[in-house]
């Protein structure tokens, strides 16, 4: 998405991603064996919850660049 993550929502989103990475790291450490490599946070891409995805889509569609364009969101949202 084209918007910067420096606004208030971007900071919340960054914090949420870090929480998801912490949870993934804790889960990895529980099942980790001695021969397994260390957890790499830089390559961890956690799956965002549906409410976060909906907020991101709503923000993008309400941006100035998207106001005068038409969009077809085929199959979106799947959870509602």
For residue 9, count CB atoms less than 10 angstroms from its CB and return exposed for 0-12, middle for 13-18, buried for 19 or more: middle
72 domain-assigned:
no
What is the residue-averaged pLDDT of the chain? Answer: 80
59 domain-assigned:
yes
13 domain-assigned:
yes
75 domain-assigned:
no
Domain that includes residue 27, residue range: 8-66
Per the structure, how many domains does the chain have?
Answer: 1
- What confidence tens digit (pLDDT) does each residue in 12-49 have? 888 888 899 998 888 888 888 878 888 888 888 888 88
27 domain-assigned:
yes
Rounded Cα gap, residues 53 and 17, in angstroms: 12
pTM of this prediction? 0.62
79 domain-assigned:
no
């Amino acid at each position: 998405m084209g918007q910067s993550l420096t606004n208030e929502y971007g900071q919340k989103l960054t914090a949420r991603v870090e929480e998801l990475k912490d949870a993934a790291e804790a889960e990895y450490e529980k099942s980790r064996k001695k021969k397994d490599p260390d957890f790499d946070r830089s390559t961890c891409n956690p799956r965002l919850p549906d409410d976060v995805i909906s907020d991101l889509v709503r923000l993008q569609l309400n941006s100035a660049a998207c106001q005068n364009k038409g969009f077809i969101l085929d199959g979106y949202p799947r959870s509602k």
